[in-house]
Structure 1
């Protein structure tokens, strides 16, 4: 074997070892038959770089091997990330490759969120790319709308204060000062009224206590009355009242039917007429006794006779004496 052949063989071996060592440092196995390459397109990779880890469900399955701009003019500015997987874990083309923050100190990794629906992805296929917002981006996204609203509030407050300064001129400020002084006077009067009310309450404390005690006594009496009413047998009282009403109805029925003296008096027309005539005659007799008493009590030494009864004079209350 010539020296040139030996030198060539040694050179090939050294180059092979160099390539193997380089890929070993990158944790890529050149002799693995299961190694597959996939491509993902992003608008921004958020600091992802070559040799970043690729994981599935938290398990490292590969690395990012290349990042370059999309050569298509229509997609100018977009980035194509090439990843290499070391195992034969199968997932569909609908799986998502999401860039996420590896730690708070920085550094991005790529996680494949596997989907098992549809056609199985093979080496060379494109996967859908997404970027997960890190904590600082999330805070910034949430604070940006608040900042915009806060700026609008500050601008509105500045406009309001400017308008208020333009409206509140010297006369208005004087009026406002007078209003404040008047308000202080009102507050002072209210304090005096409260003080007077406290003094009045203190001076009438005994009377108030007596009134409250009397009110309590009245309330207790009402409670006793209520208790007595509660103990009253209303059923028995109602029964007695019903019996009384039945007796009254019986008496009224007897009167209406003409039974008894009162019934006869109420229903006998002749008796009513006789009583009316007797009353009338009694009235005429009393009137005659009043107008002509000498006719009933007569005393005369000379034997003078009393005048006879005169119906017309008696009707006109004229004496016959």
Structure 2
């Protein structure tokens, strides 16, 4: 065997080992046989790139082969990730391929969340995908609107301070100082007034105590009165009063309807006329007794007769001769 032949064999072995080692470092083992290829569609990939590892239950089983845009008009901007699996582990088409970041420093990877229900996935199938939000991405998405609002607040505060500096010129500053001095004097007057009030309260504390005692006695008397009212049979009293009022109402209704003597007296015109005539005759009688008393008390030694009643003279208040 010549040296040239030996050298050629060594070169070929080195090339084969280099190719195998290069693919092995990229995650593709040429000795594992035929790999299965799958596709997943994402709206964003979060730092995923070619040769990123694919894991299944934490075990590396493949790598990302290609990332390209979806060319269909209705899904323009979507990304199609192609990856290969060199393991013969079976899972269904309902499995989910999730993009995740194992740590803040490393890049993103694919993790197959296997599902065993339904039809088994085969090479060439398109699986469902989702993206796992890591801590830093979640914090960044939440801090972005806060940062925007904070910038607006800072701009508003800067504008406010500029306006305050514009308003607080030398003249305004002096006015504020005078106002503060006036406020100090006002506070001193209030303190003096409070001292006077405290002194007055101290001097009238005895009278206040007596007033409180009197108030307490009045309260006790009111309590006794309320207890008496509470213990009394208010309901029975009200019932009797109701019965009395009912009787009075019945009596008034009878009077109004002309029942009884009082009702006839109130409603019977004939009785009223009779009483009027009796009253008139009684008045004439009294007037006659006053004018001619001798007609009613007659005494005569010589047998003289009493004078007859003269209605006309009685009406004119004249004495009969």
Normalising by the smaller structure, the TM-score range is: 0.5 to 0.7
Indicate the SS of the match to 1:106.
Answer: coil
Q: Counterpart in 2 of 1:300?
A: none
Contact 1:98 1:112 in 2 (8 A): yes
Aligned to 2:123: 122
Question: Aligned pair 1:279/2:307, yes or no?
Answer: no
Contact 1:54 1:109 in 2 (8 A): yes
Question: Would the alpha carbon gap of residues 39 and 227 (structure 1) be closer, same or farther in structure 2, given more than 3 Å must change?
Answer: same
Deviation readout 1:59-109 (Å, 9 max, x if unpaired): 543234x56899x9xxxxx998653202343555x9765431102453432
1:119-268 equivalences under 5 Å are 122-123=123-124, 132-184=132-184, 192=193, 196=197, 199=201, 202=205, 203-230=207-234, 232=236, 234-235=238-239, 238-239=242-243, 242=246, 253-255=259-261, 267=271
The equivalent residue for 2:86 is 86
* Distance change >3 Å, CA 17–CA 248, structure 1 → 2: closer
Distance 1:212 1:157, change over 3 A: farther
CA distance in structure 2 between the partners assigned to 1:226 and 1:253 by the alignment = 42
Distance 1:315 1:61, change over 3 A: farther
RMSD between aligned residues: 5.5
For 1:7-26, list aligned pairs within 5 A: none
State the secondary structure of the residue aligned to 1:232: helix
Cα distance, 1:159 vs. partner? 0.9
Q: If the length of structure 1 is used for normalisation, what is the TM-score?
A: 0.60
* Unaligned runs of at least 5 residues, structure 2: 72-77, 298-309
Counting matched residue pairs gives 288
Distance 1:68 1:268 in 2: 126
In the aligned structure 1, how far is the partner of 2:184 from the partner of 2:287? Answer: 89
Shift of 1:280: 4.6
Matches within 5 A, 1:34-73: 34-38=34-38, 48=48, 52-56=52-56, 58=58, 60-64=60-64
- Further displaced range: 274-283 or 186-195: 186-195
Deviation at 1:136, TM superposition (A): 1.8
1:7–1:214 CA distance, 2 compared to 1 (3 A): same
1:281/1:79 CA distance change after superposition, 3 Å: closer
